[in-house]
Amino acid sequence: MDFYIQVLISGLLLGGIYALISIGLNLIFGVVRILNFAHGELVMLAMYGTFWLYKLYDLDPYLSLVVVLPAMFLFGVVLQRFILQPVLTTSGVMKMFTTVGISILMQNLALILWKGDFRAVQTFYSMSTIKFSGLIISIPRLVAFGAALLSIILLYLFLKYTYVGKALRAIVEDHATARLMGITVERHYLLAFGLGALFSALGGTLMMPFSSVYPTIGGPFTALAFVIVVLGGLGSMGGTFLAGLFIGVIEAFAGTFVSPGLKEAIYFVIFLLVLMVRPQGLFGMGRGTEEIGLK
C-alpha cells in the first residue's frame, strides 16, 4: 500500500509542475488565440536565467525568482508586441510558423550562447527529503508543488475578481465584442502573454533545484503542455490544474507498473481516448478545441 501511495505522491508532485507550465500556455492560447510552440523555450530560458544567476552571482534559485519572473514577463510582452502582434491577423499556419520559428531560434541561440551542456544548480536542499512512515518526499519538489498550487489559485482569483481579469475572460470568449466595451484588446494580449511567460518561468525556476537545463529541454514541455491544456479544456484554469495532476499521476503509475519507457505513450493514448469521449476536454467549456484541429 505504502508503495502505491509513494508512487501517487511522486505523480502528484510532478503533476503540479506540469500544471504550472501548462497554465501559462492555456492563458496565452485562450486570450491571444495563438498556439505558442515556443512555450517550452520560455521554460528553458527561465531555467537558464536561474542557472546563470546562481552560477555568476551565487543567487539561490528561489531568490532568483525576484529577477527571473519580471524579466520573463517582460520578455513575453516584447515577444508578443514585436513578433506575434504583427502576424496575429494572418492565417493560422502563419502564426504557427512564427512560434515554431521562435522556438527554433531560441533553441539555437541557447546552443550557441551556452553550448549543449546540461547545467544544474547545487543547493543544500536539492536532495533534502521529508520521511515519514516509509514515505519519502523531496522538499524542492514539494515546494514546487505548493508554489504551483498557490500561484494557480492566485491566477484564478485574479481572473475572477479583478477588473482586468474579467476583461481577459471576456477576450477569451469574444474579442470582437470585448473591443466594443472599450477593452484595449492588444494591450491585454501583452498582459496575457507576459503572464503566460511568467507562469512558465515560475515552473522552470522551481524545477532548477532538482533538474538540469539544456537547450532542447523545452520541446517535451511544449508537447506536454498541449496535452494538458486540451485535456483540461481550453480556457479552463482549474481544468488545467487537474489535468496536470492527472497526467503526472498517470505518468508515475504507468512508468512504475507498466514501463518507464512507455509512460509518455500511455498518457498520450489516454489523452486521445478522453478526447474521443469528451472532445471539449475533461473540464473544458466545449469551445476552442476545434481550432487546433482536434475535433
Binding interface with another protein (CB under 8 A): 3, 6-7, 10, 14, 104-105, 107-109, 111-112, 115-122, 126-127, 129, 136, 138, 141, 163, 166-167, 169-170, 173-174, 176-185, 207, 210-212, 214-217, 219-220, 251-252, 254-256, 259-261, 263-264, 285
| Residue found by looking up cell 514515505 in the block | 135
Task: Give dist(CA 47, CA 58) in Å, integer.
Answer: 15
Least spacing, CB of residue 35 vs another protein, in Å: 19
Q: Please, are residues 50 and 64 in contact by the beta-carbon 8 Å criterion?
A: yes
Least spacing, CB of residue 278 vs another protein, in Å: 18
* Secondary-structure percent of the chain, ordered helix, strand, coil, rounded to 5: 75, 5, 20
Q: Which three cell numbers stand for residue 20?
A: 504550472
Task: Give dist(CA 295, CA 52) in Å, integer.
Answer: 43
Least spacing, CB of residue 48 vs another protein, in Å: 13
Q: Please, are residues 222 and 37 in contact by the beta-carbon 8 Å criterion?
A: yes
Least spacing, CB of residue 70 vs another protein, in Å: 25
Q: Which of residues 55 and 295 has its CB atom nearest to another protein in the complex?
A: 55
Q: Which of residues 95 and 141 has its CB atom nearest to another protein in the complex?
A: 141
Least spacing, CB of residue 183 vs another protein, in Å: 5
DSSP 80: I
Q: Which of residues 261 and 293 has its CB atom nearest to another protein in the complex?
A: 261
Least spacing, CB of residue 268 vs another protein, in Å: 12
Q: Which of residues 85 and 216 has its CB atom nearest to another protein in the complex?
A: 216
Hey, which bits of the chain come out as E strands? 129-132, 135-138
Q: Which of residues 70 and 162 has its CB atom nearest to another protein in the complex?
A: 162
Hey, which bits of 33-171 come out as E strands? 129-132, 135-138
Q: Which of residues 124 and 276 has its CB atom nearest to another protein in the complex?
A: 124
Task: Give dist(CA 138, CA 6) in Å, integer.
Answer: 11
